[in-house]
Amino acid sequence: MKTKLHLLYGGKSAEHQVSLQTALAVTKALDTDKFEVYPLYITETGEWKRGGLLNGPAESVHQLKLEEGGTTIAPLALTNEEETEETQTVVFPLLHGPNGEDGTVQGMLELLNLPYVGNGVLASSAGMDKVIMKNLFDQAGLPQVGYAHFLRSEWEKAADTTYEKVESELGYPCFVKPANLGSSVGISKAKNRKELEAAFREAFDYDRKIIVEQGLEGAREIEIGVLGNDEPECSVIGEIAPKTEFYDYKAKYEDGDTAMIIPAEISEDIYEQVKEMAITAFKAIDGAGLVRADFFLTKEGKLYINEVNTMPGFTPFSMFPLLWQHTDVSYPQLIEKLVGYAQQRHEEKQKIKHTFKKKISPVD
């Protein structure tokens, strides 16, 4: 059976350009003997455009914007009515950030009863909202650094009170982040009150809710890939070694001024602890398909989970695919595995009953 694969990318998000780069890389890795590939582009204003069948890799990001030959569609037009016994439709969301990675698109695909790659509605929304995610990790017993969260409205009413809470509960240095964004957008490190005030303003530009996390001086940043559905597996561990003070957007996407050490030099005991914690985190959010789990490792050997990313960077040079490449899963094989997990999960969902008939006891 040939799979009709819709690559869904772009999106009304600050991570729009990152998504385009991901989609370009995926088109170059897909085997057209196994997949019929259709581009599905969401513009920065939220318009949906569908392109025709790709007979080979896309040549550029410009081509993927479908400015020529693309047809504007309503999202509800994505049905599987044209499916035959020889093909099965699967949607591969390659969206990063809000309006794509946060459960919104996943909910729409659930309503359309279409199989799709990656995490479902709950895991996507919980994984996007760092506050909810950390609350779930707390409940699962996973160790984390101290954190506090604030709404824009409470900050606007009493800014000094929010700063004082950070200083009394977390101290400096600390990291200030939008609660619902990825790719290190809007994140700042604060070492004093002046920097904290600027960091709050920066983060609130991107979300109505922010999170402030306690800084760990000298801690190593390590990451692991998780792949699967009910029985997830883990990759080798990688380490982020930024040459700047922390792994911000510029270091991640613009400078290339960051070393990724794969596999990381860690003990077998630490590796086993990271795997166990990563799978616990995956299950805590009811993950499916994939996540990248990020940790801090202190000089004393103490592990803290930082976050999980439910749609991690996915170019061939991103950490998640590289972790699996070092686990003997190539980039094309990784894509095929993810599509297979999507089909498996969809088939399982079709077994769920959606009607209920009450049993009537016979009258004596």
118-153 confidence digits (pLDDT tens)? 999 999 999 999 999 999 999 999 999 999 999 999
pLDDT at 184 over 80: no
For residue 120, count CB atoms less than 10 angstroms from its CB and return exposed for 0-12, middle for 13-18, buried for 19 or more.
buried
Residues 24 and 77 in one domain: yes
Is the residue at 364 inside a domain? no
Is the residue at 124 inside a domain? no
- Residue in the block written with tokens 């400078």: 255
Residues 168 and 230 in one domain: no
Q: Are 185 and 195 in contact (CB under 8 A)?
A: no
Segment among 69-78, 146-155, 162-171, 271-280 with least mean pLDDT: 69-78
Average pLDDT on 89-106 reads 91
Residues 111 and 232 in one domain: no
Question: What confidence score (pLDDT) does residue 307 get?
Answer: 95
User: Three-state DSSP class for 170?
Assistant: coil
Is the residue at 289 inside a domain? yes
pLDDT at 183 over 80: no
Work out the mean pLDDT of the chain and round it to a whole number: 90
Question: What confidence score (pLDDT) does residue 251 get?
Answer: 45
Residues 196 and 295 in one domain: no
Write out pLDDT tens, residues 290-330. 999 999 999 999 999 999 999 999 999 999 999 999 999 99
Of all residues in the chain, the percent with pLDDT exceeding 90 is 78
The residue that leads in pLDDT, 70 or 220, is: 220
Question: What confidence score (pLDDT) does residue 82 get?
Answer: 57
DSSP classification of residue 77? G
Residues 107 and 195 in one domain: no
Write out pLDDT tens, residues 185-199. 789 999 999 999 999
Question: What confidence score (pLDDT) does residue 79 get?
Answer: 67
pLDDT at 163 over 80: yes
Is the residue at 123 inside a domain? no
Range of the domain at 62: 2-116
Residues 156 and 104 in one domain: no
Convert 164-199 to b/e letters by CB count within 10 Å (16 or more is b). Answer: eebeeebeebbbbbbbbbbbebbbbbbeeeebbbeb
Is the residue at 238 inside a domain? yes
CATH at residue 108: 3.40.50.20
Is the residue at 359 inside a domain? no
Of all residues in the chain, the percent with pLDDT exceeding 70 is 91
Is the residue at 21 inside a domain? yes
Residues 277 and 231 in one domain: yes
Question: What confidence score (pLDDT) does residue 68 get?
Answer: 81
Write out pLDDT tens, residues 221-255. 999 999 999 999 999 999 998 765 554 444 444 44
CATH at residue 294: 3.30.470.20
Segment among 31-45, 52-66, 81-95, 246-260 with least mean pLDDT: 246-260
CATH at residue 197: 3.30.1490.20
Count: domains in the chain: 3
Half-sphere exposure of 127 (CA within 13 A, CB side): 34
Select from 69, 101, 116 the last residue of a domain.
116
Token output for 148: 């506090």
Q: Which residues pair with 309 in a beta bridge?
A: 292
Select from 187, 214, 241 the last residue of a domain.
214
Residues 205 and 231 in one domain: no
Q: Measuring CA to CA, how many Å separate 266 from each of 203, 297, 325, 327, 335?
A: 34, 10, 19, 16, 28
Residues 226 and 210 in one domain: no
Average pLDDT on 326-351 reads 96
Question: What confidence score (pLDDT) does residue 203 get?
Answer: 96
Residues 312 and 248 in one domain: yes
The residue that leads in pLDDT, 246 or 331, is: 331
Is the residue at 334 inside a domain? yes
- Name the nearest CA neighbour of 117 among 9, 233, 238, 237: 9
Question: What confidence score (pLDDT) does residue 271 get?
Answer: 98
Residues 310 and 264 in one domain: yes
This prediction's pTM: 0.88
Question: What confidence score (pLDDT) does residue 233 get?
Answer: 97
Residues 104 and 154 in one domain: no
Select from 199, 214, 229 the last residue of a domain.
214
Average pLDDT on 260-279 reads 97
CB within 8 A of 59, min separation 6: which ones? none
